[in-house]
Amino acid sequence: MIELVDVSLKYNNETTALNHINLKVDDGEFAFIVGSSGAGKSSIIKLLLRERVASAGKVFVNGYDLSKIKRRKIPEFRRSLGVVFQDFRLIPTLNVYDNIAFSLRVTNASNKYIRARVPYILELMGLTEKAKRFPHEISGGEQQRVSLGRALVNDPPLIIADEPTGNVDPELSYEIVELLKGINACGTTILMVTHEHDIVRYFGGRTISIEHGEVVFDDYIGGHDEE
Residue 114 or residue 191: which is nearer to ligand ADP going by CB?
191
Give the C-alpha separation, 48 to 58, whole Å: 11
**3 state SS of 109:** coil
The nearest distance, CB 144 to ligand ADP, in angstroms, is 9
CA distance 47 to 9: 9
Q: Which is nearer to ligand ADP, 18 or 104 (CB)?
A: 18
CB 5 within 8 A of CB 163: no
In the complex with ligand ADP, the residue whose CB is nearer, 39 or 160, is 39
Q: How far apart are CA 185 and CA 28, in angstroms?
A: 8
Which contiguous run of DSSP H or E holds residue 38? none
Whether the Cβ atoms of residue 118 and residue 76 lie closer than 8 Å to each other:
no
**How far apart are CB 36 and ligand ADP at their closest, in Å?**
7
Shortest gap between Cβ of 224 and ligand ADP (angstroms)? Answer: 23
Closer of 43 and 188 to ligand ADP (Cβ)? 43
Least distance in angstroms from the C-beta of 96 to ligand ADP: 10
Nearest distance in Å: CB 48, ligand ADP? 12
Binding site for ligand ADP (CB under 6 A): 11-12, 15, 17, 35, 37-43, 130, 137-139, 141-142, 169, 172
The residue among 26 and 169 lying less far from ligand ADP, judged by its C-beta, is 169
What interhelical angle do 111-124 and 140-152 show, nearest 10?
140
* Angle, helix 96-105 to helix 111-124, in steps of 10 degrees: 130
In angstroms, rounded to a whole number, what is the distance separating the alpha carbons of residues 15 and 198?
Answer: 30
What is the closest distance, in whole angstroms, from the C-beta atom of residue 133 to ligand ADP in the complex?
7
Quick one: 40 or 82, whose CB is closer to ligand ADP? 40
- Residue closest to 167 by CA, chosen among 99, 98, 227, 85: 85
